[in-house]
Structure 1
Amino acid sequence: MQKSQRLIQLIMRINAKQSFTVKELADEFGISTRTITRDLLELSELGVPVYSIQGRGGGYKLLQKRILPPISFTESEAVAMFFACQTMDYFSSLPFGDGADSAVHKFYHYLPADVREQIDRLKDRIMFWSPYRSMSAEILQTLLQAVMTNSVVTIAYKSSSGVSERNIQPIGLYASSGYWYCPAYCFEREDIRQFRADRILSASLNGTIPAREDVSQKTLLDKPQKDDQERTALELELTNKGVWMLESNPRFGPYIKHYEDGGGTVTVPIAAEDLKFYVDLIWQWGDDVKIIGPAAAAAYIRQKIEAMRLLYLR
């Protein structure tokens, strides 16, 4: 076996082990302990984080951050991987620490010069924009770690009723409109709830509470859909411009009924508790989107209009 092949296999072998001795590796590869010792020294000089354990029963271990063996990519795969990482550039915080930036730097550095030139020409010409939302990267990392290790997290959560302490078992993390969301089982409410990461003031792993096995089997596809809550129908009347603005909106677009003159109507089934959220969303479209029903929605928007009128009469 060539030395380069042996070193790659050695990286793969020690990545799969918690600890190992030189003799164990020498026996597995059928070479001398002196050769294995030289190989480990060479891997260490290349950046593989191997360290020795002193004393009786000693040997070698990898530091917590393991090194993956080399992987070959085609040019199109390399470009796709680079821009997949670029999709995260416009988030204010990510649950990966410095790992994403470090990976992209390594990946880009070792690309062939002509491929780097192609990517450079695409920089600032392809963007995956996301609204900037301020939140804690440390909290996101704690939530991600809890998902990976199937752990419970104690959080301080700020809601409309104030700050409360919760013990939650995260199901996953997802991003929408720049915000990070964490569906999780809440031990206080004894139900799955959705938590917005920017409203979590602190988060720490809690090893005193065992994780529930049934929750650990869930995925983001099992996040709360509010299908079992009280429902209502939000009815809207749209001008031509209103139709144009809402056609591409996934909350309203599928429900638009078009008039011949270019206007239209929308009837959207929603959870009753989300009514104010939808009215606040509609507020931005002014007189191009008129609320027809329910009465509670029309009453709420009249309150907003009156409050705004009084504000500017002062």
Structure 2
Amino acid sequence: MPKSQRLIQLIMIINARKTFTVQELADELGLSTRTISRDLQELGALGVPIYSVQGRGGGYRLLRERLLPPIAFSEGEAVAIFFACQSLGFFGSLPFDEGAATALHKFYHYLPADMKEQIDRLKDRVAIWSPERIMSPAPLRTLLQALMSGSVVTIAYSSGQGETRRDIQPIGLYASSGYWYCPAYCYLRQEVRQFRADRIRSAALNPTHPGLPEVGEMTLWNSLPELDGAAETVEFTIELTPRGVWTLASNNRFGPAIVRGADGGGTATVRIGAKDLTFYADLAWRMGEDARITAPAEAVAYVRGKIEAMRARYT
């Protein structure tokens, strides 16, 4: 077995076991203990965090987090990964600590010189941009941790009705227009709700709350119906100009529902919770003349009320 392949295989075994002895590795790979000891010393010199365990039994232990083995990328894959990671820098806050920045630095550092030149020429010319909106990254990290462990989170949430303390079970986490959103089951309201992460003033895992198994099976794509299916829903229809179609095409609710016309405009009809009517009406309001709500009548009346209030302010 070539030495490079042997070292990669060693890293994979060490990742899986965390603790091991030289003899165990020697038996598994069919090599001498002397060769394994030499390979472990070389891995340590390369930065793999291995340290020896003293005392009866002895052996070695992998310190800190696991390391992934090297992966071969094509040139196209390398460029795609670089700019995907770089795009995260446009967000004001991320749930990944400094992981994205350090990963990008490592990735770029070990690229061949000609690939670095190609990427350098594209810097400041290609970007996956998102409006930067500053918020504390701490709630995002807690929500991400909860998603990975299936935990319930206790949050302090600020809304138009004031600040409330509640337990939520996160279903997902996604970014749109610079904001981070977290659909979650709210135990205070006993329904699935959407929370804006920048309105979460504090967040902590709640290890005493068991959560609901059925919520744990939900994803971003199947969590839109209410948990018990009993909440009232209405059909929300919106007419769009060509620019309006372009604006909503990336929206995960409206995008798939858009029916385009010959002039580039279109219409979209989605079923929403009746309690969320003003949220979606406000979305259309922010689009100005590029969107017009046609149903339900309550949403049309709501927007007309906003128009009259705005007219009064400028009269």
Q: Give 2:233's match in structure 1, choosing from 215, 220, 230.
A: 230
* In 1, Cα distance between equivalents of 2:139 and 2:131: 19
SS in 2 for 1:12: helix
Trace 1:116-195 onto structure 2 (pairs within 5 A).
116-195=116-195
SS in 2 for 1:182: strand
* In 2, Cα distance between equivalents of 1:67 and 1:206: 29
Q: Give 1:275's match in structure 2, choosing from 273, 277, 282.
A: 277
- Following superposition, the deviation at residue 245 of structure 1 comes to 2.7
TM-score by length of 2: 0.82
- Following superposition, the deviation at residue 286 of structure 1 comes to 4.8
Amino acid at match of 1:187: Y
Once superposed, what is the RMSD of the aligned Cα atoms? 3.0
Q: 1:51 to 1:308 in 2, by over 3 A?
A: same
How many residue pairs are counted as aligned between the two chains? 305
* In 2, Cα distance between equivalents of 1:171 and 1:34: 50
1:274-300 deviation per Cα after TM superposition (whole angstroms, max 9, x unaligned): 433344334445567666665544543
* In 2, Cα distance between equivalents of 1:264 and 1:41: 65
Q: 1:34 to 1:140 in 2, by over 3 A?
A: same
Name the residue aligned to 2:28.
Answer: 28
- Following superposition, the deviation at residue 48 of structure 1 comes to 0.8
Moved more, 135-144 or 100-109: 135-144
* In 1, Cα distance between equivalents of 2:238 and 2:48: 61
Amino acid at match of 1:276: T
Name the residue aligned to 2:101.
Answer: 101
The answer on 1:245 being equivalent to 2:239 is: no
Name the residue aligned to 2:6.
Answer: 6
- Following superposition, the deviation at residue 84 of structure 1 comes to 2.3
Q: 1:294 to 1:148 in 2, by over 3 A?
A: closer
Identity percentage of aligned residues: 58
* In 1, Cα distance between equivalents of 2:4 and 2:300: 72
Amino acid at match of 1:247: V
Moved more, 143-152 or 108-117: 143-152
* In 2, Cα distance between equivalents of 1:66 and 1:206: 27
* In 2, Cα distance between equivalents of 1:290 and 1:58: 72
SS in 2 for 1:246: helix
SS in 2 for 1:247: helix
- Following superposition, the deviation at residue 101 of structure 1 comes to 1.3
Name the residue aligned to 1:239.
Answer: none
1:109-147 deviation per Cα after TM superposition (whole angstroms, max 9, x unaligned): 111111111111112222211122222222212211221
SS in 2 for 1:5: helix
- Following superposition, the deviation at residue 67 of structure 1 comes to 0.9
TM-score by length of 1: 0.82
**Structure 2 stretches lacking a partner, 5+ long:** none
* In 2, Cα distance between equivalents of 1:28 and 1:235: 64
* In 2, Cα distance between equivalents of 1:10 and 1:256: 55
C-alpha contact 2:258 2:269 (8 A) present in aligned 1: no
Q: 1:179 to 1:26 in 2, by over 3 A?
A: same
* In 2, Cα distance between equivalents of 1:246 and 1:123: 30
C-alpha contact 1:194 1:224 (8 A) present in aligned 2: no
C-alpha contact 1:183 1:192 (8 A) present in aligned 2: yes
Q: 1:103 to 1:201 in 2, by over 3 A?
A: same
Name the residue aligned to 2:218.
Answer: 218
Name the residue aligned to 1:206.
Answer: 206
Q: 1:283 to 1:58 in 2, by over 3 A?
A: same
SS in 1 for 2:142: helix
Name the residue aligned to 2:302.
Answer: 300
SS in 1 for 2:129: coil
* In 1, Cα distance between equivalents of 2:24 and 2:280: 64
Name the residue aligned to 2:258.
Answer: 254
* In 2, Cα distance between equivalents of 1:291 and 1:55: 74
Larger CA Rg, structure 1 vs 2? 1
Q: 1:124 to 1:42 in 2, by over 3 A?
A: same
